[in-house]
Structure 1
Amino acid sequence: MAIQTTPTTSETAAASQDAGPSGTARGGEVLLEVRDVVKAFGGLHAVDHCSFDVRRGTITGLIGPNGAGKTTMFNNITGFITPDSGTIRYRGQDITGLRPDQIFASGLCRTFQIPREHGTMSVLENLMLVPMRQKGENIWNAWFHGAEVRRQEEQNRDKALEVLGYLELTHVRDEYAGNLSGGQKKLLELGRTLMTGPELVLLDEPAAGVNRTLLKRLTSNIEYLSRERGITFLLIEHDMNMVMSLCDPVIVMSEGRKLVEGSPDEVRNNQSVLEAYLGGQYAAAEG
């Protein structure tokens, strides 16, 4: 979808609402719209009439305490569960209730808090498995169109090797994925999303279980992909140093609802956020 050069009145108003302190809107057009989404499990409303936007070109942070509804919201967006009510739009299209594979095929991908690699396959094979509608998946193509199957496999292999080189994982390409460290598995998860050519990537706690060296590389990769390849990110994270240095805007959820949205400085200096979610660490630093 091309970015409109002449916004409508409603788009101008929305951009004004999302403007930073300088009055300049963060990011471009709205890529993901979450509107009044509700998801309950029994009597517990994990997501309770929650609404927010993710604009093209941003790295948007989604924070809040355990139980705030962040991962449930990710599951609603990516089709792993269906909202009880509300709508979710991606690139202007209603994706509410679509299957995960349908949403994945549209260019919206996610990673998981606990990586879901195929442990008994090599790192390279994990990446080559990702592209959809591979000709070799059909036994008739393998028998009667072998040349086309081999050509596509070579293309997927070349792309996978390119991704591994970018992520600095080439040295473990033939290693079983299950033998990787926690940080390497997080990089592999990111690599799997890159095999699809995504527009929007949802990252679920990318810093969890990652040592500081690999975390620095992961953060640099996210920044590069956003800046140079135009990929938009929405990430859940409890590492506040990572969020405050990487994300703009930052959305805070509480009890299933959006509590606050703003720049890192605005969120960092919001009293309710300081008291409830940041444990005073930034307030203490500024005091």
Structure 2
Amino acid sequence: MELNTTIYNRNTPADRVLLVGPSLGGNATHQWTKVAASLIDDARVIFIDLPGTGLSEPWDDNDEPTLDTVAAAIAGIARDLKDELGQDVPIYYAGLSISGAIGLHLARDYDDLFAGVVVVASAATVGEAPRWIERAEQVEATGTQQLVEETTKRWFTPDFRAEQSDTVAIIMEGLSVSEDHSYAQLCRALAVHDLRGDLPYIQTPVMMIAGGRDTSTPIANVELVAETAPRGELHVIEDAAHQVPVMRPLEVAALIRQMLDRPRWNRVVSESGD
């Protein structure tokens, strides 16, 4: 699997790299640009497109539909960056929703590559397997466009939808133009995603960021990761729904900057709000 990447700030003087990934059916550039703008001098920010979104090719059915498959492709990107920039260059990863779940696979399996992982609006399990399989079959039958209305209500609060309608429209366009089979395969990958038993063995620093109004990701599931992973940390952004980097980019950027700047990690639980 080869994933498309886009460098946001190629000429930054920063000697750190931050890879960022989108939600299911999301466009990484649209979802993470405001966060990247706040980190323009802190790290070289690179957007990653999942299969069938942005400029990445559709899912190749020679690849098993698991998040391990996608994680291996992202690890390959990290290895290439270290070959290009130097083995001592620290690489961090931040992922939203499904990409956050992928981040836990990276933290478990590639601690030699990643200095830290940020998981936004995701957890060691996401949803229920039968419903993911049902959604995969539904999308392959009727496409992603029919998901837009209901998903918009879950991804954003009513106030944000009213005040930032243009932003919402741009984000939801990413879902509507996602390649259907790729979306379905990612649903199947989420159906078998379960890292709860592996959490005690993850040594990579893991920062969990949750939206206080995120109805898609139960806070208990997020807390489980932060409390069980040895170097886990939890932050709750109270007024955000599922699309935390879109709704509260400055807060997300500030938290990521904490990870970038912190020489040593200890578990911290905090709440962030207005």
TM score, norm. by length of structure 1: 0.29
TM score, norm. by length of structure 2: 0.30
Rg (Cα) greater in structure: 1
Task: Give the structure with the larger strand fraction.
Answer: 1
Task: Give the structure with the larger helix fraction.
Answer: 2
